[in-house]
Amino acid sequence: MKQLIRLTVNDRALEVAVDPNATLVDLLRYHLGLTGTKKGCDLGDCGACTVLMDGKAVNSCLVLAVQANGRTVQTIEGLESAEGLHPLQQAFIEKGAIQCGFCSSGMILSAKELLDRMPHAQEPDIRRAISGNLCRCTGYQKIIEAIKDVAR
Amino acid sequence: MILPKFEFHEPTSVAEACDLLARHRGKARPLAGGTDLLVNMKKKVMSPGHLVWLGRIPELSRLERSNGTLWVGAGVTVSDIAASEAVAKAVSALGQGARALGTPLIRNLATIGGNIGSARPAADLPLSLMVYGAELVLAGTSGERRMPIAEFFKGPGLTTAREDELITAIAVEVPRGYSGAGYLNLGIRKSQDCNIVNVASFLELDEKAERIRTARIALGSVGPTPLRSLKAEKLLVGAKPDERLFEQAAQAATHDCTPILDFRGSAEYRRAMVDVLTRRTLAMAMAEARSRT
């Protein structure tokens, strides 16, 4: 039986009916149309589905939609503001940190959690912060440079 | 991957959670961080008909030190343990295990209760808790009981908890001065990997910091449950700590485990790494003990 939940996604208060066995990534992508959150391994290994839940970066494939009841979720779509792209998004473009783009949303959100907590994070902290996000294109170096650029 | 269907329960008290587990005995599983259980359900290794989620029970998330005991609620996340100053000060090796577990994304979800309750032989938190002599607080429909953590594990995924019981907290008596501990894990990569071998060591020295009074060594990923190395501990107690002694103890530890061969490593390699990690964690324990005297 579907269950009614209330949550805030990218500053929008929502009320949705979800199946208990639906995951947060499926709710975001298939019900809310927020396909910026990617679905990779679906087992918590790759980090493509990373979102911020109450400010913490989590694998949204390992969270049930019903567990997000009452929580605040931020996805990649929620980073852009009236002034334009988030500094991390801009830095990823400028530093060539995006190739195929599949890991980018997750990378940026993991980096955002770090910089919200530690605005001047150093390289070892940056490397640790994105250690749950796999990238098969860039070799990580450009991604680390982009995050370092914002942390400066 | 589609999760099998289940009925979802979100109790707001421990008593309510135990009642639900008892009512759906054999068909219910407690759900903590979900980083192990949901993966197993997606892989169809498990398909419980009822999930009893513990995330709405406020009393499970306390983390406090009172009267010489550190209380860690079963629902405290691994990232909170990794960042806790109280943990770093009182039981540093537990913090080391927390920082080694999974990835930042997993650590933000996974809980200490789940890491113990899932009873994985390679888990990162139980070994340090074992060498600190931690006790688990279990609550069930017939009341509460405490047991040393070592008595909790029966085999991979198997525990001595009854079907209506939950881990509610972990109690660690904060070790006195003259003592120290260390935890190390070895995987193929630093992050997001299952351990090949993991070891925790604890040493307590006498008042003159000359001889070892207490020694506890726990080995992971080299048997069906976390194991204590009694042979190594026996060598250490009463002896003067030095490099040679730690080498002998580490050698002895390799005879106290039953590693298997799998795609991560051979049994011989695991045994050799038990030697290395035991030696290194003993050195870490000694360094911390010295720094606290």
Contact criterion met (CB < 8 Å) for B105 and A42: no
Query: What's the pLDDT band for B261 if we cut at 50, 70, 90?
Result: confident
Say which DSSP state B20 is in. H
Q: Does B111 touch chain A if contact means CB atoms closer than 8 Å?
A: no
Counting residues of chain B whose pLDDT is more than 90, the rounded percentage is 93
H/E run at residue A7: strand A3-9
Domain range for B13 is: 7-53
Domain range for A107 is: 87-151
Contact criterion met (CB < 8 Å) for B38 and A64: yes
Domain finish residue from A78, A95, A122: A78
Q: Residue type at B111?
A: T
Residues B125, B97, single domain; the answer is yes
- CATH no. for residue A120? 1.10.150.120
Residue B293 has pLDDT above 80, yes or no: no
Per-chain mean pLDDT for chain B: 96
CB A67 within 8 A of CB B55: yes
Residues A128, A101, single domain; the answer is yes
Residues B153, B213, single domain; the answer is no
Domain assignment present for residue B2? The answer is no
Torsion angle of C-alpha atoms B39, B40, B44, B48, degrees rounded to 10: -110
Domain assignment present for residue B233? The answer is yes
Residues A71, A7, single domain; the answer is yes
Residue B185 has pLDDT above 90, yes or no: yes
Give contacts of B39 with chain A, Cβ < 8 Å.
43-44, 62
Domain finish residue from A50, A78, A106: A78
Domain assignment present for residue B178? The answer is no
- CATH no. for residue B153? 3.30.465.10
Say which DSSP state B112 is in. H
Structure tokens at B117: 């309750």
Residue B51 has pLDDT above 80, yes or no: yes
Angle between helices B267-292 and B243-253 (to 10 degrees): 140
> How far is Cα B203 from Cα B209, in angstroms, rounded to an integer?
11
Contact criterion met (CB < 8 Å) for B102 and A132: yes
Q: In terms of pTM, does the model score above 0.90?
A: yes
> How far is Cα B289 from Cα B243, in angstroms, rounded to an integer?
15
Say which DSSP state A68 is in. G
Within the 42-61 window of chain B, which residues sit less than 8 Å (CB to CB) from chain A? 42-43, 51, 53, 55
Q: How many domains does chain B have?
A: 3
For residue B178, give the 3-state DSSP assignment: coil
Contact criterion met (CB < 8 Å) for A62 and B7: no
Contact criterion met (CB < 8 Å) for A47 and B55: no
Measured between CA atoms, how close is B119 to chain A, in angstroms?
19
Q: Give the residue-averaged pLDDT of A29-42.
A: 98
Among A90, A4, A5, A80, residue whose Cα is nearest residue A36:
A80
Residue A45 has pLDDT above 80, yes or no: yes
Q: Does B38 touch chain A if contact means CB atoms closer than 8 Å?
A: yes
Query: In this predicted complex, what is the ipTM?
Result: 0.97
Compare all CA atoms of chain B with the CA of A49 and give the residue at the minimum distance: B105
Residues B203, B271, single domain; the answer is yes
Nearest to B106 among A21, A64, A132 (CB): A132
Place of tokens 């830095």: A91
CB B97 within 8 A of CB B127: yes
Query: What's the pLDDT band for B180 if we cut at 50, 70, 90?
Result: very high
Residues B158, B96, single domain; the answer is yes
For the sheet with A12-18, list strands across it.
Answer: A12-18, A3-9, A72-74, A50-53, A56-59
Domain assignment present for residue B182? The answer is no
Query: What's the pLDDT band for B192 if we cut at 50, 70, 90?
Result: confident
Q: Residue type at B225?
A: T
Torsion angle of C-alpha atoms B71, B76, B79, B85, degrees rounded to 10: -30
Contact criterion met (CB < 8 Å) for A58 and B79: no
Calculate the CA B51 to chain-centre distance: 23
| pLDDT tens column, A69-102 | 999 999 999 999 999 999 999 999 999 999 999 9
Structure tokens at B97: 């295990």
| pLDDT tens column, B143-158 | 999 999 999 999 999 9
Per-chain mean pLDDT for chain A: 97
Residues A31, A52, single domain; the answer is yes
Measured between CA atoms, how close is B56 to chain A, in angstroms?
9
Residues B147, B163, single domain; the answer is yes
Measured between CA atoms, how close is B11 to chain A, in angstroms?
12
Nearest to A57 among B1, B104, B190 (CB): B104
Residues A104, A73, single domain; the answer is no
Q: How many domains does chain A have?
A: 2
Residue A145 has pLDDT above 80, yes or no: yes
Measured between CA atoms, how close is A45 to chain B, in angstroms?
7
- CATH no. for residue A8? 3.10.20.30
> How far is Cα B215 from Cα B217, in angstroms, rounded to an integer?
7
CB B158 within 8 A of CB B119: yes
Number of Cβ pairs < 8 A linking chain A and chain B: 81
> How far is Cα B51 from Cα A19, in angstroms, rounded to an integer?
13
Residues B153, B224, single domain; the answer is no
Give contacts of A23 with chain B, Cβ < 8 Å.
3, 38
CB A57 within 8 A of CB A108: no
